[in-house]
Amino acid sequence: MLVGYMRVSKADGSQTTDLQRDALLAAGIAPDSLYEDRASGKKEDRPELAACLKALRHGDTLVVWKLDRLGRDLRHLVNIVHDLTERGIGLKVLTGQGAAIDTTTASGKLVFGIFAALAEFERELISERTLAGLASARARGRNGGRPYKMTPAKVRLAMASMGKPGTKVSDLCTELGITRQTLYRHVSPTGELRPDGEKLISP
């Protein structure tokens, strides 16, 4: 099943999704399978994107007019693409710099694989920085302070660090400013997301 997503930056009527809609319909997407947001690319609250990603199922293909219609920034885009890969969902970009991305073709799968590699690279970098931060904190004798609530950034750091041989849970909790109980509510000992964590970082 093909599912389309489109976005314009302003909700004041000065921009329309007509061009995107026409292209997506021409690509074979049914009108009732189109999702539309009117919000800045930097804005986190995009309810239609969230609904679109939630509606996608294994074997579906998400189609966008241009790659910049999908992600807020490179990190957000990489996270979305990685999530789609994990769920067995394809991505097709119709035009622009990302038009080579079409996981229904062999060459498109290669490009898609590059995004997955970027996501893995990003996780490794986060893990390295976290471990370095923990070592630095220990060297300064930091004991931490009042625990604060979990945030999306802390969840991603915890995912990258948990399960790594050099990570001590007590040190990680100190660095993140959370309790052990809070950590385990969001992330498993092997770094897998738990329901509370999924709620925090879901697009």
Of the candidates 9, 40, 136, 202, the residue annotated as catalytic is 9
pLDDT, residue 146, reads: 45
Boundary-marking domain end, from 104, 130, 157: 104
Q: Which domain holds residue 143?
A: 119-201
Residues 84 and 178 in one domain: no
Kindly state whether residue 96 falls inside one of the protein's structural domains: yes
CATH code of the domain containing 21: 3.40.50.1390
Residues 21 and 60 both lie in one domain: yes
User: What is the per-residue pLDDT for 119?
Assistant: 61
Q: Are residues 90 and 153 in the same domain?
A: no
Judgement on whether residues 100 and 139 belong to the same structural domain of the protein: no
Co-location of 64 and 99 in the same domain: yes
pLDDT of residue 53: 92
Question: Do 129 and 87 lie in a common domain?
Answer: no
Do 98 and 6 fall into the same domain? yes
pLDDT for residue 175:
79
Contact call for residues 103 and 112 (beta carbons, < 8 A) = yes
Q: How far apart are CA 130 and CA 77, in angstroms?
A: 22
Does any domain span residue 67?
yes
- Separation of alpha carbons 105 and 110, rounded Å: 9
Q: Does one domain contain both 136 and 66?
A: no
**Does 124 lie in the same domain as 152?**
yes
Q: Which residues of 19-28 are buried (b: 16+ CB within 10 A; e: fewer)?
A: ebbebbeeee
Q: What three-state secondary structure class fits 89?
A: coil
CB-based contact 119:88 (threshold 8 Å): no
In a domain, 111, yes or no: no
Is residue 110 in a domain? no
Q: Would the pTM of this model clear 0.75, i.e. be above it?
A: no
Tell me what pLDDT residue 20 has. Answer: 93
Which of 131, 141, 132, 185 is closest to 163 using CA atoms?
Answer: 131
Choose the final residue of a domain: 78, 104, 130. Answer: 104
Please check whether residue 186 lies inside any domain of the structure: yes
19, 28 Cβ separation under 8 angstroms: no
Q: Do both 96 and 156 map to the same domain?
A: no
What is the pLDDT at residue 30? 95
Domain stop point among 44, 78, 104? 104
pLDDT tens by residue, the chain, 203 residues = 999 999 988 766 667 889 999 999 999 999 999 999 987 656 567 889 999 999 999 999 999 998 888 877 766 777 788 788 788 888 888 987 666 677 667 776 676 667 666 666 666 677 677 777 766 666 666 554 444 578 888 888 888 888 777 788 888 888 788 888 889 999 998 888 888 888 888 75
Q: Quote the number of domains for the chain.
A: 2
- Can you tell me the distance from the alpha carbon of 75 to that of 172, in angstroms, rounded to the nearest whole number? 23
Is residue 6 located within the same domain as residue 100? yes
My answer on whether 37 and 67 are in the same domain is yes
Q: Is 9 designated active site?
A: yes
